[in-house]
Amino acid sequence: MQGVRYDPDDPLAAALAPPPGESAEERAARVRREEEAKRVNDEIDERLREERAAWKRRRSDFKLLLLGQSESGKSTTLKNFQLAFAPKAWQAERASWRAVIQLNLVRSINSILDVLSQEMASSPSTTSPTTSPFMRPTTSQGTNRFDPSTSTSPTDGSSTSSDPDGLQFTNTHALLKLRLVPLRRVEADLKQLIGAATDEVAPDAFGAPAQAADDANGAVLYDGSPARRRPAEFYVRSNQSWREALRSTYQGLGGAASERAAAAHESKLEDATEIIASCAVDMAALWADPVVREVLRRRRMRLELAPGFFLDDIERIATRGYEPSDQDVVRARLRTLGVQEHKLVMERSGVSALATNDVSRDWMIYDVGGSRTSRAAWFPYFDDASAILFLAPISCFDELLQEDRRVNRLEDSFLLWKAIVQSKLLANCILVLFLNKFDLLDKKIQGGVPIRKYLPSFGDRDNNAKVLAHYLHQKFRDQHREYSPQPRRPFYGYVTTAIDTKETTATLAAVRDGILRHNLRKADFV
Ligand SMILES: Nc1nc2c(ncn2[C@@H]2O[C@H](COP(=O)(O)OP(=O)(O)OP(=O)(O)O)[C@@H](O)[C@H]2O)c(=O)[nH]1
Ligand SMILES: [Mg+2]
């Protein structure tokens, strides 16, 4: 601003002052940047104002908030709601998940290639021409299946058995790396296609993990050391737009105005599908390769426990005519950013006999981003919520938060739950708790992870997933009893596996009926 005097002793003024000795062009560029930043800011403010106004307008609707830490299964539960109660709408949406599933798969492969390259670069090359048996086309079923019992051995007994510490890379690995290079572009294209209708947000926006820390047993997907840190995830900002964009491409619903854009989209999607299909055999070979498995084991990259894991399904997914199944869609991973509003219009088969009016038939469901930095965005939605479905992933009792490597994930869930049950704003909300990811918990404990080591209060109880689930259920329920401002508030707790759609449908029907029954009782009192 011209004419404004800056007091050099005032630190705020000094921070805001233009850089000394700024040229006319530099000044013009700075002003342009500032104007652009202001425009973006105003847009965000406007969007927040609109979101809040929409929330207020919906005062009379039934509003369900899905809460819980990141990767707890909120979006997966939302998909289950759609699948259970709005199956036609779900069918229409299913195809649009294909690109997300392809992206999940390609990202897993590219992250394997990254670590493979690093290892190969730092290892004295052993270019034995012996080709791996896994280079044969993997057309027969099951050749790329992961058998944990074989993954700990560097090879399947051939060249490296005499050298247990060394990794024997061969021409096969170099060749695989080379042949899979096109997947880099596919990843970029798919990201752009999925993100095209929205904004891609740099992972840094969520704050890099604060400190390296060791999870002690490697049960965490990747440990905390910078070299092994989990690759950044792909985020798209909010709402349906990406799905709408992809769906109209798949279904040719682009309309005249966007026909050309839709055609360009379609051809990019087809290119991506084509390249993925042509890389199927090499992807399967990479995933089945014993040396690669050993690299992953040493780096504690347990991809099979990570969200969006499709490496065991390459044969089925990496094809030209691939269409996602319901299972695929609930297993797909796309991180939520901000608060997403979904109107669930229960279709005939999904309507409960207890639903007496439109309000009980149409639910507004709010799916939120669960990472720590996203949580401030939850609060404006609290004052008018009808019910909260809180997800606590119990399989992560031995893991650390991605966004703060000093905090145990189960402890984070406990603290979050406590804050929610204590909240006066939520005193009249029905609380539903899902102790989720039971399947992963069972797998982990069967693999020998000692519960007591991470949860000393578990004591001498059996090292068993069911016992732990029961124990945690009691702990969460006790917190509700102890801290709830409304002692008689209903509380429903379930142990769930949200990727098991059949079981989850039954649970959600019970949840819905419990909520409706409670609402009917409340109406009787009035
Ligand atoms: N094995 C297993 N995977 C699950 C379960 N529930 C969810 N997942 C997977 O875990 C991943 C994360 O689930 P999301 O529903 O995206 O998690 P979220 O709570 O929405 O996470 P944010 O959007 O980051 O807040 C997805 O790939 C799901 O398929 C479960 O019970 N078992
Ligand atoms: Mg989500």
Position 9 scores a pLDDT of 55
75 touches ligand 1 (CB under 6 Å): yes
Beta carbons of 233 and 337 less than 8 angstroms apart: no
| CATH 3.40.50.300 in the chain, residue ranges | 61-86+346-525
* Paired sense of beta strands 62-67 and 362-368, if any: parallel
* Paired sense of beta strands 339-345 and 362-368, if any: antiparallel
Question: Residue 235 Cα, ligand 2 centroid: separation in angstroms?
Answer: 10
308 touches ligand 1 (CB under 6 Å): yes
Chain mean position to CA 38: 31
Question: Residue 75 Cα, ligand 1 centroid: separation in angstroms?
Answer: 7
Please compute, for residue 454, the number of CA atoms within 13 A of its CA located in the half-sphere on the CB side.
Answer: 27
**Among the atoms of ligand 1, which is closest to the Cα of residue 336?**
23
What predicted TM-score, i.e. pTM, was given to this entire model? 0.76
Measured between alpha carbons, how far is 139 from 281 in angstroms, rounded to an integer?
8
74 touches ligand 1 (CB under 6 Å): yes
339 touches ligand 1 (CB under 6 Å): no
SS (H, E, C) 213-248: CCCCCCCCCCCCCHHHCCCCCCEECCCCHHHHHHHH
498 carries a ligand binding annotation: yes
336 carries a ligand binding annotation: yes
**Among the atoms of ligand 1, which is closest to the Cα of residue 337?**
23
Mean pLDDT for each 10-residue chunk of the chain (526 residues)?
Answer: 45 49 80 77 74 63 92 96 92 90 96 95 60 34 29 35 67 96 95 63 34 28 36 54 61 60 84 97 98 94 92 98 95 90 80 59 89 87 90 96 90 94 90 97 95 95 97 96 88 95 94 83 54
**Closest residue (by CA) to atom 10 of ligand 1?**
307
Q: Which CATH superfamily is domain 61-86+346-525 in?
A: P-loop containing nucleotide triphosphate hydrolases (3.40.50.300)
**Closest residue (by CA) to atom 22 of ligand 1?**
70
Sequence-separated (6 or more) residues with CB below 8 Å from residue 153? 290, 294
Best residue for ligand 1 mutational test, from 66, 76, 389, 502 (most atoms within 8 Å of Cβ): 76
Question: Residue 338 Cα, ligand 2 centroid: separation in angstroms?
Answer: 9
Position 234 scores a pLDDT of 59
3-class SS of residue 393: strand
Tokens for 92, please give them: 């229409």
The ligand whose atoms approach the alpha carbon of 371 most closely is 1
Question: Residue 215 Cα, ligand 2 centroid: separation in angstroms?
Answer: 24
User: In the block, which residue shows the tokens 């608060």?
Assistant: 339
Helix H or strand E segment including 67: strand 62-67
437 carries a ligand binding annotation: yes
